[in-house]
Structure 1
């Protein structure tokens, strides 16, 4: 059974769920999910899991992301990006390049960010974007995010055709924590400069360890399905532990093993951020969490030739057709 990650270069105009549907047809299985939504307007890295590798998606969602983007200063929209209706225009003629760079600096580091109202965040059980579309005014609470890098590459001045009207297009790179809305960064930069702002272009270049250099278009994947094997994907994503034959047997039955020394299970490994454990032949056997003098399995991967394709999770068995649920494939406007 084919299991692994596919790094897709999502085309503009496609929802992330559209890509999942296409990948299901290409891979010939319904057990496909993705590790973090891109808005239809955005392009770039969308990490897709196939079969057993859908179990890794949970751990990829929380990794840092990197984007290239263009922010237009002088125009605000209802969605904080180019897909929404323009709600206000103000000339940015008086905004200097130095002021733009200072505003970017103020939005770098640990900040409190109010997500865009047109988002997948639930308000009393309903998606915020659905409430906005029905005409309701939605105010979301600020949440902490980390902007590791917010770098300005170019600032271009555009004449709007209105007297003294000028907009600025700012090309940037943003490296940020999971849950950051790049649209909200554009909005907040514009507000801080007193002219409003929105996102006009967005391309995701990296998710965790997976980069645009590894990505393929859907057309390329239809010609040749390039899959990052699940063992290689886990090695790149998590701390590693190499198991002996005896440890492999114990872990395969869902039993705990000694923490080990040197190349043992990292003490920082937790159920939320586990270590990947490999058999002597390099096969991914389990995800492990440190438990003092022991290491316990968080998730055990059954061999492909095991009957019924069952996998063990924390000692309980889950049928493989229950894995990789659509929670990773829903069409959402999130984290951009």
Structure 2
């Protein structure tokens, strides 16, 4: 994806801080932690464990993971909780084992997987707390990592909110066998991966090194600025416009320095400073192609302001009148 620059020569900011250059106290307010959740622990227990270790006031998460599942849980710290509902929308990747009640040839397995790739229809299972209505979900891929007549190891990439067990239960007629899932492990959530995840022990050790020894590096390597979790297309704002947008005002075309190509009308986008700081999550009024032709007018509006107004102080040389 390319970037269209509206204001040549205006792509440098003199205000603000690059997210990775924030102090540790600032990072503890504006970051996420990728936690490798062990089996038999709830998502709530996981987030509260992170809260206790880091001594923060508020935590959230980027998607539930059942107690019997292990793997990536994205824990949001304090101000990062403001973008929870936007992180949750990212797709998911899981690796797990399928056990069949009878032998299933690989060719039959591949045909069934192909049938359930793309847009699928699901009704949430009876035990689900969500309303049991027919929903459309998207399964990007179902890949066989290893296969034997009575079992297979697979990797699934799917839309958030897809019920994995229901997905394979619905395949039983095509497979001509009952299917059970085990060793379910989430390996990716949005653009965050299990390779970035740490255990509770590693997180605690890094925090103690910071508190007791003044060694920031281990903790810095764990705290991921919330900006790096964003997968939405981006709009880059002028320094002078940011205080106004932090107050909830709409985005005019002359507030924009650059934006990602292929932005659509009515699309949820991320609004950034020129120092890559997240200002707000917003929604466009017109497409990127239309923006390229405009000289004035409103092109987007914030739906969730993330940056506190006082954190982006303007000096007198950059304030719009």
User: TM-score, structure 2 length as denominator?
Assistant: 0.73
Contact 2:92–2:158 (8 Å) recurs in 1: yes
Whether 1:19 aligns to 2:46 is: yes
Q: Distance in 2 between matches of 1:68 and 1:11?
A: 15
Q: How many residues align?
A: 257
Matches within 5 A, 1:151-170: 151-157=143-149, 168-170=150-152
Matches within 5 A, 1:127-142: 140-142=132-134
Contact 1:31–1:50 (8 Å) recurs in 2: yes
Structure with the larger helix share = 2
Q: Distance in 1 between matches of 2:33 and 2:265?
A: 25
**1:108 matched residue in structure 2:** 117
Contact 1:112–1:142 (8 Å) recurs in 2: yes
Give per-residue Cα distances to partners, 1:137-192, cap 9 Å, x unaligned. xxx443211111011122224xxxxxxxxxx1111111111211111122222343
Report the alpha carbon displacement of residue 109 of structure 1 after superposing the two structures with TM. Answer: 1.4
Report the alpha carbon displacement of residue 232 of structure 1 after superposing the two structures with TM. Answer: 3.2
Give per-residue Cα distances to partners, 1:253-292, cap 9 Å, x unaligned. 322231356714874374x7232322x4433222232234
Q: Distance in 1 between matches of 2:119 and 2:227?
A: 34
Contact 1:146–1:176 (8 Å) recurs in 2: yes
Contact 2:237–2:258 (8 Å) recurs in 1: no
Q: Distance in 1 between matches of 2:249 and 2:260?
A: 15
**2:270 matched residue in structure 1:** 275
**1:301 matched residue in structure 2:** 306
Matches within 5 A, 1:159-238: 168-224=150-206, 225=219, 226-234=222-230, 237-238=231-232
Matches within 5 A, 1:11-160: 11-74=38-101, 92-93=102-103, 95-122=104-131, 140-157=132-149
User: Secondary structure at the residue paired with 2:268?
Assistant: coil
Q: Distance in 2 between matches of 1:171 and 1:203?
A: 11
Q: Distance in 2 between matches of 1:245 and 1:96?
A: 61
**RMSD over aligned Cα, in angstroms?**
2.3
| Displacement over 6 Å in runs of 4+ | none
**2:34 matched residue in structure 1:** 7
Q: 1:303 to 1:112 in 2, by over 3 A?
A: closer
Contact 2:35–2:197 (8 Å) recurs in 1: yes
Q: 1:31 to 1:72 in 2, by over 3 A?
A: same
Q: Distance in 2 between matches of 1:155 and 1:231?
A: 39
Contact 1:288–1:298 (8 Å) recurs in 2: yes
Contact 1:108–1:147 (8 Å) recurs in 2: yes
Q: 1:269 to 1:8 in 2, by over 3 A?
A: farther
Contact 1:64–1:177 (8 Å) recurs in 2: yes
Contact 2:172–2:179 (8 Å) recurs in 1: yes
Report the alpha carbon displacement of residue 302 of structure 1 after superposing the two structures with TM. Answer: 4.0
User: Secondary structure at the residue paired with 1:255?
Assistant: coil
Report the alpha carbon displacement of residue 108 of structure 1 after superposing the two structures with TM. Answer: 1.3
Task: Structure 2: give runs of 5+ residues left out of the alignment.
Answer: 1-25, 207-218, 287-296, 312-321
